[in-house]
Homo-oligomer: A and B are copies of this chain.
Amino acid sequence: MKPTATLLFSCPDRQGLVAKVANFIYANGGNIVHADHHTDFNAGLFLTRIEWQIEGFNLPRELIAPAFGAISQPLGGTYQIRFSDTIPRMAIWVSRQNHCLLDLIWRQQAREFSAEIPLIISNHPDLEPIAKQFGIDYYYLPITKDNKEAQQQRQLELLKEYRIDLVILAKYMQIISPEFIDTFPSHNIINIHHSFLPAFVGANPYHKAYERGVKIIGATGHYVTSELDAGPIIEQDVVRVTHRDEVDDLIRKGKDLERIVLARAVRHHLQNQVLVYGNKTVVFD
């Protein structure tokens, strides 16, 4: 795969936007490999994702963003430019369960993810051997009522020190404070919640699902915002359960869902396929 640039752009809808964006690429000699557009008529918003080969593009990389800015600014738009050979750095936050962590590492090694994983943070020491095995730095930062603020400060420092672009809460099982979320660049923290949101927000969703007697359970990959389990949803999936499934069975079946839904959400993000607006996502897959 040759390196590509990806433009994610949104602005108030008006005539000629597809042409404007396509012409920007074409006029500079770009070869588009993917282009997808969406208009949310309720929101009056145009959203687009265009990916083109850098090779042969007439603008040097550092000039692409300012050049497109000159187009976006009068349209009242917002945009990002990303390069496929600029590899994002992910931190994975875990608690005691290893299935999502192992799965993310496996996908990174299998090149399903274009990302580096230099850092694991946990409130428990249990998964340190996995970090060791794969040569990833592991920080055990236990959380108590009293140290939460200080540990959070430490977490932010680590993210900075390791130049982390994306935080994955891979069953971290702790609530991230609004201050933390405000500090870290927005829509760069992805959580896997083990229910079909908005059903069963908060703790123990499998126990609640069992109590409610649902016939299907789900998992949700979403960006973290200051409201618990209420951020923009990237991906969801479900699996059927029956009266024979006890809570332990829901947990077991749910683990397979969690791995896959989290992986899809992370991959969409890493492929620069996700545009957030309001509390929603457009996933250009």
Q: Which residues of A contact B (CB under 8 A)?
A: 15-19, 22-23, 25-26, 29-42, 50, 99, 102, 106, 110, 112, 133, 196-200, 212-216, 218, 232-238, 240, 242-244, 246, 252, 256, 260, 263, 278-283, 285
Contact call B236/A216, Cβ cutoff below 8 A: yes
Main secondary structure, interface of A, reads mixed
Chain B residues whose C-beta falls within 8 Å of the C-beta of A15 in the assembled complex = 26, 29-32
Q: Are B252 and A112 in contact (CB under 8 A)?
A: yes
For the complex of A and B, list the 10 residue pairs with the smallest distance between their C-beta atoms, beginning with the closest: A213-B280, A19-B22, A19-B26, A199-B199, A18-B22, A243-B282, A215-B236, A16-B26, A35-B37, A22-B22
Cα A263 to Cα B257 with chains together (Å): 13
* Further contacts, 11 of them, CB under 8 A, given A17-B32, A18-B25, A216-B238: A19-B22, A33-B39, A35-B37, A197-B214, A198-B200, A213-B280, A214-B233, A215-B233, A216-B218, A240-B240, A242-B283
Would you give the shortest CB distance from A64 to chain B, in whole angstroms? 17
Q: Which residues of B contact A214 (CB under 8 A)?
A: 197-198, 233, 236
Q: Give CA–CA (A26, B37) in the complex, Å.
A: 15
Sample 13 A-B pairs with CB under 8 A, ordered by A number.
A15-B29, A15-B30, A19-B23, A22-B22, A23-B23, A35-B37, A36-B37, A196-B199, A197-B212, A213-B278, A215-B235, A243-B283, A244-B285
The reply to whether B243 and A216 form a contact with Cβ atoms under 8 Å apart is: no
Question: How far, in whole Å, are A197 and B242 apart by their CA atoms in the complex?
Answer: 15
Query: What's the minimum C-beta distance from A75 to chain B, rounded to whole angstroms?
Result: 14
Chain B residues with Cβ below 8 Å from A243 are 38, 40, 280-283
With A and B bound together, what is the CA distance between A32 and B235 in angstroms? 28
Pick from B34, B39, B199: contact of A197, CB under 8 Å? B199
B244 A38 Cβ-Cβ under 8 A: yes
Please, which residue of chain B has its CB at the minimum distance from the CB of A32?
B18
**Measured CA separation A60–B259 after assembly (Å):** 44
Of B200, B216, B279, the residue contacting A237 (CB under 8 A) is B216
Say how far A186's CB is from chain B's closest CB, in angstroms.
Answer: 16
A104 CB, min distance to chain B CBs, angstroms: 13
